[in-house]
Amino acid sequence: MLLKSKFKLATAIGIVLSMLSLLVHLFLANYSAGGITKYSLHMDDVLPFGPRPRPRRLWGPLSTLDHLHPYAKPRKIYPAPDYHNGFIYAKIYGGFEKIQSSICDLVAVARLLNATLVIPEIQATTRAKGISSKFKSFSYLYDEDHFISALSNDIAIVRGLPKDLREARKRIKFPTVSPKNSATPEYYVTEVLPKLAKSKVIGIIVNGGKCLQSILPASLEEFQRLRCRVAFHALKFRPEIRALGSQIVSSLRASGRPYLAYHPGLLRDTLAFHGCAELFQDIHTELIQYRRNQMIKRGAVKEQLSVDSVSRKINGSCPLMPEEVGLLLQALGYPSTTIIYLAGSETFGGQRILIPLRAMYANLVDRTSVCSQRELSDLVGPEAPLASDMPHPPPHKSEKELIEAWKRAGPRPRPLPPPPARPFYAHEKVGWYGWIGENDTEPDPAPVEFRRQAHRLLWDALDYFVSVEADAFFPGFHNDGSGWPDYSSLIMGHRLYQTPSGITYRPDRKTIAALFENVSDHRYHPPRNWTLAARQHLNDSANVEGIVTSAMLSKPVSFLAHPLPECSCRTPKSPGVQPMKDSHGRLLFGGEEECPDWMVRSLAMSSTKSNEPLNEDYEGELPDDDSSQDTQQESDRSDMNKSSEQDEEMDPDD
């Protein structure tokens, strides 16, 4: 009996020890993958509500630029002549960036010739079939009433010619001119003004997006500021675009986190102009080469059809690919949960080209991600339906007709008929892919394509609004050297005017190409010295060094891409900045005038609420930006507190 009791006790002790051993092994298994270390929740793995501190190096504001403020009001009186020379009406061809730039130039030309400007016609909308009758050309994008009232002290603007002159225009009674790209003021004074004075009405056709040279003589400095007032104040998008844009910005910031806007710059025309076809494959290469051949026939491209795309890429002539942008953002320290807004109505290559970037940054969104289809349709407005070219099904036959057809079908048994050919659907016939498999000539645009071109203007305007308001902006392509205005440069110029201390990267694509060439075999795991070099270049590009370098390239092409120093001012107590000039002695940075007293007082009052510069420059009307986050606490942090900042960033060498 005693032996049986001892056996039971030993069995019970063995069972208990076995259970303890099992628990210990289960406990250790939880840490077998990464060692016995305590896991701490990363701040960027959650989406907290409300404002939160954010790393200044990633999101700004930049202390070296916080003394600059927008100020485009006239500095001196430049009265118009007492006499009136007539009316100017204009037709503008091109995409969003060409329209934006052309309107600013046309206003300056009208002031130069002392003429009344008729609201310009945007041909991308007037050529479209079935565009909503609610909007007429200019009003498809912009607020006409605001445009007229905002420039009432500068020029006279009317919605249309008087009735008698309108009838004469239909009979082609008035001369028209098509100025060359970057025409000089002397051209308008000597060539256009005499025709205007004689006929009282003249038409201007703008094709290249620039009908006036970018850099004007010092005597016309007020005309430069007039351009700023047009671009950054008078050209206000219509209320529906502004409302939806504000809704997108609010949605992106709903979690209390900042967001970065990114414009790839991957446009078919851009890739064809610079010879970047070999960066793509298969049908994409053929499409780019076909467009390049068209440009050669028109004289827009003076080179051969086939060029070495790799050498063009190394030379910085081609856009950065989304994969490269993702690696650069990682080198900067942006965590994988960063919210990135994809701007632009066209990304050549589609979603396939964005796969690497989306794998690195899952929060890559665009207007279709944050807006419903109903909201986008409301922005477009009611449109008349277009004739569909979808394949129609065979006519329905009754049972009696089917039986009769079977009886007339001939002797039996019969071989089965060949399967019918797969029908072509509308999305395969219209656009880039529909024609290339059938013939060698791209067909003329169908009515639906004209309508899509008009829609792209809306999407570009919407994304322009969101990109200007973004906490940081990264361009995939700017300063392209084509001589045409480009989308990213306009955004960068607007941000430089509105919020100079905001983070706006200006990468040198030639430098970036050399960096990637050095790590071509292991670009996803680069050495730390490569990461530091890439980070240093991009941080410099967002600061004074990048502004000056970009100005030397962009300002001769587009004044709106670098509206300094004419359209900005600096606070009196700002640190001394050495004025920087180009090779012709023109100021690029550091020659801004001091801000007026009323503006300094307004800035001092608002500084307690926000550390970011205001985006208005009108006396007594300097509203606070409600959407901006309170960064005062973050901006006061010293360099000694970088440990908490490092927790917020992504370590590329992890």
CB 476 within 8 A of CB 487: no
Checking if the pLDDT of 490 tops 90, the result is yes
At 425, is the pLDDT very low, low, confident or very high (cuts 50, 70, 90)? low
Taking residues 11-19, report their average pLDDT: 75
Checking if the pLDDT of 540 tops 90, the result is yes
Q: What type of residue sits at position 542? A: A
77-86, 344-353, 354-363, 381-390: segment of lowest average pLDDT: 381-390
Q: What is the pLDDT of residue 627?
A: 35
At 435, is the pLDDT very low, low, confident or very high (cuts 50, 70, 90)? low
Which of 33-47, 123-137, 466-480 ranks highest by mean pLDDT? 466-480
Instruction: Give CA–CA dist 71/219, Å, rounded.
Output: 19
Q: What is the pLDDT of residue 631?
A: 36
Q: What is the pLDDT of residue 613?
A: 38
Beta strands 201-206; 364-365: pairing state: unpaired
Q: What is the pLDDT of residue 482?
A: 78
CA distances from 162 to 118, 120, 165, 168, 198 (A): 10, 15, 5, 10, 17
Those residues whose C-beta lies under 8 Å from the C-beta of residue 248, and which sit 6 or more positions away, are 341, 367, 370, 371, 462, 466
At 239, is the pLDDT very low, low, confident or very high (cuts 50, 70, 90)? very high
Checking if the pLDDT of 38 tops 90, the result is no
Q: What type of residue sits at position 353? A: I
Q: What is the pLDDT of residue 195?
A: 94
Q: Quick one: CA torsion of 66, 251, 256, 360, rounded to 10 degrees?
A: -90
At 522, is the pLDDT very low, low, confident or very high (cuts 50, 70, 90)? confident
Checking if the pLDDT of 458 tops 60, the result is yes
Mean pLDDT of the residues in the chain: 81
Q: What is the pLDDT of residue 520?
A: 79
50-64, 277-291, 349-363: segment of lowest average pLDDT: 50-64
Checking if the pLDDT of 642 tops 50, the result is no
Q: What is the pLDDT of residue 644?
A: 37
Give 32 or 314, the one with higher predicted confidence.
314
CA 23 to chain CA centroid, nearest Å: 57
Q: What is the pLDDT of residue 652?
A: 43
Taking residues 75-95, report their average pLDDT: 85
Taking residues 498-509, report their average pLDDT: 95
261-270, 510-519, 593-602: segment of lowest average pLDDT: 593-602
Q: What is the pLDDT of residue 619?
A: 33
Q: What is the pLDDT of residue 29?
A: 52
**E-only strand ranges, 420-544:** 472-475, 503-504
Q: What is the pLDDT of residue 31?
A: 42
At 64, is the pLDDT very low, low, confident or very high (cuts 50, 70, 90)? confident
% of the chain surpassing 70 pLDDT: 80
Checking if the pLDDT of 13 tops 70, the result is yes
Checking if the pLDDT of 405 tops 90, the result is no
317-331 as b/e: b if 16+ CB within 10 A: bbbbbbbbbbbbbbb
Taking residues 362-387, report their average pLDDT: 89
Q: Quick one: CA torsion of 309, 313, 314, 317, rounded to 10 degrees?
A: 110
Beta strands 68-70; 568-570: pairing state: antiparallel
CB 118 within 8 A of CB 89: yes
- Report the chain's C-alpha Rg in angstroms: 31
Neighbours of 166 (CB within 10 A): 13
Instruction: Give CA–CA dist 507/540, Å, rounded.
Output: 9
Q: What is the pLDDT of residue 356?
A: 95
202-220 pLDDT, tens digit per residue, is 999 998 788 999 999 888 9
Checking if the pLDDT of 40 tops 70, the result is no
Taking residues 48-56, report their average pLDDT: 57
167-195 pLDDT, tens digit per residue, is 778 777 889 999 998 899 999 999 999 99
Checking if the pLDDT of 645 tops 50, the result is no
Checking if the pLDDT of 86 tops 60, the result is yes
Name the residue ranges covered by the structural domains of the chain. Answer: 87-236
Q: What type of residue sits at position 391? A: P
Checking if the pLDDT of 226 tops 50, the result is yes
Taking residues 488-496, report their average pLDDT: 95
123-143 pLDDT, tens digit per residue, is 887 777 777 777 778 999 999
Q: What is the pLDDT of residue 529?
A: 94
Instruction: Give CA–CA dist 9/546, Å, rounded.
Output: 81
Q: What is the pLDDT of residue 296?
A: 93
Checking if the pLDDT of 606 tops 70, the result is no
129-138, 158-167, 377-386: segment of lowest average pLDDT: 129-138
Give 117 or 629, the one with higher predicted confidence.
117
At 428, is the pLDDT very low, low, confident or very high (cuts 50, 70, 90)? low
Give 23 or 194, the one with higher predicted confidence.
194
Is the torsion defined by CA of 539, 365, 360, 358 positive or negative? negative
